[in-house]
């Protein structure tokens, strides 16, 4: 495997450093031996975990992966600490590292999508105390069940425009997607600004005593013929609805301990909630098979269905991605074809 020197002042980083790194023995850990490497230019030695969240964690990498997995199953940090027999502060620090890697992984691998039908909605929560409301804007590509973007903050025009613009950048401007939201007033303005061509409809529900008594469907952008054709070609929707994004909202709430109803584990700061959702979004899109995407014996992840990955990934793949990214750009075509284990080497190599 080709590697680069982690020393940013090393002269080899200015040229081709693929041939400058050589094995330099092993070092012992509690879980066994790990390979050590050495740069032949600056003589820096480094371990195989440099550049990954596993660096200097003093525990097996599998335990780090288990902590990340428990965090996306709605388990709070105190419970993870008891189950894994590690300190609360250690769990917190590990999840900080995991969130940083997942955020970078999401950013680098969520692009060039063909979004046929998109839905958007918001989840209300709070940070610090109940008087400080925080809104989670979530979007979804219905065909692949992919969760392409989210924004946390106040329920205002700027955040609405930010999440809609992040989706418009992923798609081909020549295609005309079908977009469905609730009746929030700023959606129409943001969609008109960010999308050149689209079909946009709203689903407005009237409730009485916590029960839906009336559903009003409105065509905001586009004509009736265009909506009928889009819904006829849709594999999932026969009428305008927000059921898929509402189901995603339920998954987000059940998988995040900060959002559990009547919990003492609410987020003290928006930053903590954002980092947890970075891990959850990566897990939902790339790691977790979706039951609605079952094709014979194969159950795909949303990323597989969207064409962003060739197989179901693991947290080990995600957490080593940043290190792989530094040297995969330097591979020739022969090695790149052999090491395309994430199914995304072509996009990395061209970026």
Residue 53, in any domain of the structure: no
Identify the top-confidence range among 84-98, 121-135, 234-248. Answer: 84-98
- Alpha-carbon distance 313 to 245, whole Å? 24
Q: Total domain count for the chain?
A: 3
Range of the domain at 188: 113-252
Q: Is 174 part of a structural domain of the chain?
A: yes
Whether residues 143 and 248 share a domain: the answer is yes
Label residue 162 by pLDDT band (50, 70, 90): very high
pLDDT in tens, 133-157: 899 999 999 999 999 999 999 999 9
248 and 119 within one domain: yes
Q: Do 208 and 320 have their domain in common?
A: no
Examine the domain organization and report whether 130 and 209 are in the same domain. yes
Query: How far is residue 78's CA from residue 345's CA, in Å, rounded to a whole number?
Result: 38
8 Å CB contact between 123 and 184:
no
- Cα(75)–Cα(33) distance, integer angstroms: 32
Give per-residue pLDDT as tens, 285-313.
999 999 999 999 999 999 999 999 999 99
Q: Is the pLDDT of residue 321 over 70?
A: yes
Residues 12 and 68 in one domain: no
Is residue 56 in a domain?
no
Tell me the β-bridge partners of 26: 35
pTM of the model: 0.85
Could you tell me if 277 and 220 lie in one domain? no
Asked if residues 306 and 144 have their Cβ atoms less than 8 Å apart, the reply is yes
């Amino acid at each position: 495997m080709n590697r680069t020197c982690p020393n940013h002042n090393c002269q080899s980083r200015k040229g081709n450093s693929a041939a400058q790194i050589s094995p330099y023995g092993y070092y012992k850990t509690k879980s066994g031996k790990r390979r050590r490497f050495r740069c032949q230019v600056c003589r820096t030695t480094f371990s195989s975990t440099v550049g990954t969240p596993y660096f200097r964690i003093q525990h097996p990498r599998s335990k780090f992966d288990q902590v990340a997995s428990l965090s996306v199953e709605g388990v709070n940090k105190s419970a993870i600490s008891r189950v894994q027999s590690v300190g609360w502060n250690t769990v917190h620090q590990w999840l900080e590292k995991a969130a940083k890697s997942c955020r970078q992984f999401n950013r680098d691998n969520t692009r060039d999508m063909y979004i046929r039908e998109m839905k958007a909605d918001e989840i209300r929560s709070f940070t610090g105390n109940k008087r400080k409301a925080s809104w989670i804007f979530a979007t979804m590509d219905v065909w692949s069940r992919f969760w392409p973007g989210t924004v946390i903050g106040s329920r205002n025009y700027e955040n609405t425009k930010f999440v809609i613009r992040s989706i418009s950048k992923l798609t081909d401007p020549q295609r005309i997607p079908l977009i469905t939201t609730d009746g929030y007033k700023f959606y129409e303005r943001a969609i008109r600004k960010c999308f050149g061509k689209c079909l946009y409809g709203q689903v407005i529900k009237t409730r009485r005593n916590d029960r839906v008594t009336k559903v009003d469907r409105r065509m905001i952008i586009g004509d009736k013929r265009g909506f009928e054709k889009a819904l006829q070609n849709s594999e999932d929707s026969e009428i305008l609805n927000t059921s898929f994004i509402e189901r995603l909202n339920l998954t987000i709430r059940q998988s995040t301990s900060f959002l559990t109803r009547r919990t003492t584990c609410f987020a003290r700061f928006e930053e903590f909630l954002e980092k947890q959702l970075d891990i959850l979004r990566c897990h939902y899109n790339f790691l977790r098979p979706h039951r609605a995407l079952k094709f014979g014996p194969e159950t795909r992840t949303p990323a597989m269905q969207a064409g962003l990955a060739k197989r179901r990934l693991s947290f080990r793949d995600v957490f080593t991605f940043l290190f792989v990214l530094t040297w995969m750009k330097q591979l020739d075509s022969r090695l790149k074809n052999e090491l395309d284990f994430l199914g995304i080497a072509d996009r990395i190599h061209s970026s």
